[in-house]
Amino acid sequence: MELDGAAAGSLLACDVAVVGAGPAGLMAAERLAQTGLSVRVFEAKPSAARKFLMAGKGGLNLTHSEAFEAFVGRYGQRSADLQPWLERWGAQQLCDWVRGLGFDTFVGTSGRVFPSDMKAAPLLRAWLLRLKALGVHFHMRHRWLGWSADGLPLLRSETGEVRVRCRALVLATGGGSWARLGSDGAWVGLLQGRGVDVAPLQAANCGFDVRGGWSPVFVQRFAGQPFKSVALRFVDDRGQEFFRQGEFVATQTGVEGSLIYAVSSLLRDCIARQGQARVELDLLPQWSAERVCAEVLRPRGSRSLSSHLKGRLGIDGIKAGLLYEVLGRQGMDDAERLAAGIKALPVTVVAPRPMDEAISTAGGVRLEALDARGMCKALPGVFCAGEMLDWEAPTGGYLLTACLSSGVHVAAGVAEYLE
C-alpha cells in the first residue's frame, strides 16, 4: 500500500486529521471518509494497528456473544456512559462489519467471538485496503507533538515537522501499555496543558505480585504453569464481591491470566487503598466442602500425603505445590486446615505489575471532559476516542468492541460538528 509522506511540504490540509492508527482511529477514519470528508491518518509507528495485531496472535477475540445487558455491565462504573455507544454499534454490528470485509465469524465455547481463521493480519489488510479505496491518506512515522505556534496540529516526521490544517482533529492515541507498539501515554501532558481533565493512567487487565514472593522451589517448578478449573472469590474493603471459575497462571513473582484479569480492577483499587488484597482460591470448585473434608480425613494407610491427595482428590502438580506454598508442612499435616485450604486457599497480592506489561490501561481523558459528541470541552474541534478515554473493561472482546464503537461515536460527532 502506498503511504503519503510530507513531500508536499511542512503543511498538509484535510477536513479531518486522525492521530493514531489503532482500531478506534481507523474506525473513525472509515466512517468519516464514507461521508465524503477528506481524512488523513497519522501514526507514530511504521505500520498500523500494531497492538491489534499482537493481541490477535493467539486468536483474534473480536467481541462477546452474551446478552446486551450483561455485555454493558462489563464496563463497570462506565457502563451507563458507554451504553449509548454500544446500542448504536455493538457486538452484532461488529460481526456484520467483519463479514463486510469478507470474513465469517464463530462463537467459541466461552461465548467469545472470533473470525473464522482466528487471525488478525488478514482482517487488518482488508480493512486498510478499504480505507485506501475510500481515499484515506496514511502518514506513518508521524508523531503528534501538540500544536504549532499558529494553533495547527503539529507532528514530527522523519524529514521534519509537519503542520496540518484541518477542520477537526480526532485523537485516538491509545493508553499507556505496550509502549513499544505505540501506546506510550505521551499525550497526557499535551492535553492537560490545554486544560483537558485526564485521570491518571493505571494498569488494567494485569498480573500481580504476591506478598513475599514465591519460594525459589515453587518458582523453579511451577512458574509459567496454569491453574485449571479453579474458582476465585474476592471481597474488597468496600464489600464488592467477585466470584468466578476459570484459569490463571503462576508467574515468577505472582499471578496473571484471564481469571486474574477479570478481577484486576477490584484488586488494583483495593491495593491502592489498603496496601494489599487477599483472594481465596477454590481448587476443587466442582466438589462440596463436605466431600473434600471426607476425602482428606479418609485413612491413607502407608500412602504419602501427596499420593493420597492425587488418588482421592485429583490434586497434584501446581495445585499441590500451591497448597504446600501457602499452608506449609505444618498446615498440610492438619487435616482440617488442609480441607479448608483446598476450598478457600488465601493468596495475598500486594502490587499490580508495571503498566507497560498490562494488556490495557484505566484512566485517561475523563468522559466528563467531553461533550455528547466526544469533543473536548476545553478544545473545540478536538475529539478523543478509544483506550485513551477513562473507561476499562476485562478481556473477552469487550476492549476491542468499545474501541471500535467509540470510533463510530466520535465520527458521528465530528460530522455533526462540521455541519
Which residues lie across from 112 on neighbouring strands?
64
In sequence order, what are the residues at sequence separation of 6 or more whose Cβ sits closer than 8 angstroms to the Cβ of residue 418? 15, 16, 37, 167, 168
Average pLDDT of span 136-164: 97
Average pLDDT of span 327-341: 96
The C-alpha angle with vertex 327 and arms to 323 and 328, in degrees rounded to 5, equals: 100
pLDDT score of 8: 39
Q: Assess whether pLDDT exceeds 70 at residue 85.
A: yes
3-class DSSP state for residue 373?
coil
Tell me the pLDDT of the chain averaged across its residues. 95
Q: Assess whether pLDDT exceeds 90 at residue 4.
A: no
3-class DSSP state for residue 402?
helix
Q: What is the pLDDT of residues 61-77, one digit of tens each?
A: 999 999 999 999 999 99
Share of the chain above pLDDT 90, in %: 95
Question: Per-residue b/e over 144-177, b at no fewer than 16 CB within 10 Å?
Answer: beebbeeebbbbebeeeebbbebebbbbbbbbbb
Average pLDDT of span 338-364: 97
Chain-centroid distance of CA 106 in Å reads 21
The C-alpha cell 522451589 sits at 217
Q: Assess whether pLDDT exceeds 70 at residue 33.
A: yes
DSSP string covering 93-157: HHHHHHHHTT--EEE-TTSEEEETT--SHHHHHHHHHHHHHTT-EEEES-EEEEE-TTS-EEEEE
Q: Assess whether pLDDT exceeds 90 at residue 178.
A: no
CA distances from 297 to 184, 303, 334, 339, 364 (A): 54, 13, 10, 8, 53
Q: Assess whether pLDDT exceeds 80 at residue 330.
A: yes
Average pLDDT of span 125-150: 97
Which H or E run includes 260? helix 258-274
pLDDT confidence bin for 280, thresholds 50/70/90: very high
Q: CA nearest 358: which of 409, 392, 322?
A: 392
pLDDT score of 233: 98
pLDDT score of 152: 97
Share of the chain above pLDDT 70, in %: 98
Q: Assess whether pLDDT exceeds 90 at residue 130.
A: yes
Grid coordinates belonging to 57? 496472535
pLDDT confidence bin for 38, thresholds 50/70/90: very high
pLDDT score of 377: 98
pLDDT score of 88: 97
pLDDT score of 81: 98
pLDDT score of 417: 98
| Rounded Cα gap, residues 232 and 314, in angstroms | 19
Q: Assess whether pLDDT exceeds 90 at residue 269.
A: yes
pLDDT confidence bin for 185, thresholds 50/70/90: very high
pLDDT confidence bin for 6, thresholds 50/70/90: very low
Q: Assess whether pLDDT exceeds 90 at residue 3.
A: no
The C-alpha cell 478481556 sits at 395
pLDDT confidence bin for 300, thresholds 50/70/90: confident
Q: Assess whether pLDDT exceeds 70 at residue 194.
A: yes
Average pLDDT of span 242-255: 97
Average pLDDT of span 385-403: 97
Whole-structure pTM value: 0.93
Q: Assess whether pLDDT exceeds 60 at residue 334.
A: yes
Average pLDDT of span 381-408: 97
Q: Assess whether pLDDT exceeds 80 at residue 2.
A: no
Q: Assess whether pLDDT exceeds 50 at residue 103.
A: yes
pLDDT score of 58: 83
CB 120 within 8 A of CB 53: yes
pLDDT score of 159: 94
pLDDT score of 57: 86
